[in-house]
Amino acid sequence: MKIITVLGARPQFIKAAPLSEELRKSHEELLVHTGQHYDYQMSDVFFEELGIPKPHYFLGVGSKQHGAQTGEMLKGVEEILLKEKPDWVLVYGDTNSTLAGALAAAKLHIPIAHVEAGLRSYNRQMPEEVNRVLTDHVSELLFCPSDQAVKNLSLEGLTRGVVRTGDVMADALFYHARRAEDRQPSAPKYLQKSYLLATVHRAENTDNPQRLEGILKAFAQIEGKIVLPLHPRTKKLLQDYHLTIPDNVEVIEPVGYLEMILLEKEAELILTDSGGVQKEAYLWQVPCVTLRDETEWVETVQTGWNTLAGAKMEEIISAVRCYRGKSLPPYQDNLYGNGRASEEIVAHMEKRG
Ligand code: UD1
Ligand code: UDP
């Protein structure tokens, strides 16, 4: 099979790492990097650390309004598809790069495989929700990370080509956990002490100064040091809004994957609005307070490992306090698969030819 994989944002590099390795064992895969993320710490570092081959095509689209960004990607991907004539287009998750790859392929009648299909927040204000709904509805193979994702698709009448494979992010975490742990002796100073880990980048929090301020006020009230690898989007908007970071928050540059998963593992608790980080918190059995009003990863909440706190100071503080005061819930294995989602995905693609 000849596969064109379209990716462009940080979490997609991590998702692609295990599956791309599996695909390359017996198939031809060409990577198209849209350039949605472009800083070294948002892109190159993952290719280097995770052994992802250099992309065959780099569109260099960069940061733009949604329409302009998605449109430029669509045009660029279409040209490549016309030239390369792949058997499959493979897309991951729910970013503008996902939608552009899927739309370009759909118009050219090239079958699409969507990894991380079926996730829903049921909040259409989120750009990601629009991207994932549209991508699912033009996909031929829909690889679901969870049982809930399969159910969500079936509620929209999507059952053909739907497969519950587990999550490729779990594959990546299980595969690289040892490598990350081996770095511990040389790991930075905050790993030696107790700390909480935070990430914030979601549009609903960063585009709204009140929400961002609520989150920072909560951070200031939480006892202990909070390590915050700062997404460039948030860095820029904090400056625009003239918001200051509380003294107990140590801001660091975005980190590579191995350092990030080690930071997660060693954290007392994680505060985040990231999709991937919520899941990784669960997989490491670290309690998580999610700085959103809803989540696609509902299992993490149902099992008691994650609490939705939104962006209000009191709710965030109270969620942290609850975890600090009680013993942790039982852990359910295999919620996101057994680390072999990539193998299953390749097998299903081969079956379909
Ligand atoms: C995107 C995805 C989001 C995903 C996130 C992962 C969409 C609509 N959103 O959000 O689903 O969770 O990636 O991190 O696709 N910037 C830089 N350098 C970079 C990249 C971004 O400075 O390398 C800054 C720019 O100011 C840019 C802003 O971050 O305008 C936002 O970047 P963008 O890719 O548009 O959205 P994300 O918030 O990163
Ligand atoms: N991540 C990372 N370095 C960081 C922050 C996050 O390697 O500084 C990893 C994290 O471990 C997870 C993924 O990036 O695997 C999540 O990406 P992000 O939060 O940007 O996007 P989302 O998952 O919300 O779409």
The whole-number pLDDT of residue 261 equals: 96
Q: Ligand 1 pocket: which residues have CB below 6 Å?
A: 9-11, 36-39, 42, 63, 94-96, 127-128, 201, 232-233, 236
Catalytic residue flag (residue 201): yes
Euclidean distance between the first and final Cα of the chain, in Å? 7
Tokens of 236: 């820029």
Q: Which of 33, 37, 176, 201 is catalytic?
A: 201
Considering the entire predicted model, what is its pTM? 0.98
Tell me: pLDDT of 326 over 90: no
Tell me: pLDDT of 193 over 90: no
The whole-number pLDDT of residue 71 equals: 98
pLDDT in tens, 3-29: 999 999 999 999 999 999 999 999 999
The whole-number pLDDT of residue 13 equals: 98
The whole-number pLDDT of residue 353 equals: 75
Distance (Å) from CA 232 to ligand 1 centroid = 8
Q: Ligand 2 pocket: which residues have CB below 6 Å?
A: 10-11, 14, 199, 201, 229, 254-257, 260-261, 274-277, 280
Q: What percent of the chain has pLDDT over 70?
A: 100
Which ligand 1 atom sits closest to the C-alpha of 236?
Answer: 26
> Alpha-carbon distance 39 to 46, whole Å?
11
H-assigned helices in the chain? 10-24, 44-50, 66-84, 96-107, 127-138, 147-155, 168-182, 203-206, 209-221, 232-240, 257-266, 275-284, 298-302, 313-325, 341-352
**Whole-number average pLDDT of the chain:** 97
* 3-state secondary structure at position 153: helix
Distance (Å) from CA 231 to ligand 2 centroid = 9
Q: Which ligand is nearest to the CA of 96?
A: 1
pLDDT, average across residues 249-269: 96
Which residue of 46, 63, 116 sits with most ligand 1 atoms within 8 Å of its CB, as the best mutation to test the pocket? 63
Q: What does R_g of the chain's alpha carbons equal in angstroms?
A: 20
pLDDT, average across residues 275-304: 98
The whole-number pLDDT of residue 197 equals: 98
The whole-number pLDDT of residue 33 equals: 99
Tell me: pLDDT of 100 over 80: yes
Distance (Å) from CA 96 to ligand 1 centroid = 10
pLDDT, average across residues 194-219: 98
Residue 181 pLDDT class (50, 70, 90 cuts): confident
pLDDT in tens, 30-44: 999 999 999 999 999
The whole-number pLDDT of residue 191 equals: 79
Q: Which ligand is nearest to the CA of 132?
A: 1
Tell me: pLDDT of 183 over 90: no
Is the reported ipTM for this assembly greater than 0.95?
yes
How distant, in Å, are the alpha carbons of 18, 28, 69, 96, 257 from that of 81? Answer: 23, 14, 18, 18, 30
Q: Which ligand is nearest to the CA of 267?
A: 2
Which ligand 2 atom sits closest to the C-alpha of 169?
Answer: 15
Q: What is the DSSP letter of 221?
A: H
The whole-number pLDDT of residue 238 equals: 97
Distance (Å) from CA 95 to ligand 1 centroid = 9
For ligand 2, atom 13, the nearest C-alpha belongs to 11
- Residue ranges of domains in the chain, CATH in brackets: 2-167+338-351 (3.40.50.2000), 180-325 (3.40.50.2000)
Residue 188 pLDDT class (50, 70, 90 cuts): confident
The whole-number pLDDT of residue 38 equals: 98
Contacts of 192 (CB under 8 A, 6+ apart): none
Q: What percent of the chain has pLDDT over 90?
A: 94
Residue 274 pLDDT class (50, 70, 90 cuts): very high
pLDDT, average across residues 326-341: 94
Contacts of 75 (CB under 8 A, 6+ apart): none
pLDDT, average across residues 326-346: 95
For ligand 2, atom 3, the nearest C-alpha belongs to 255
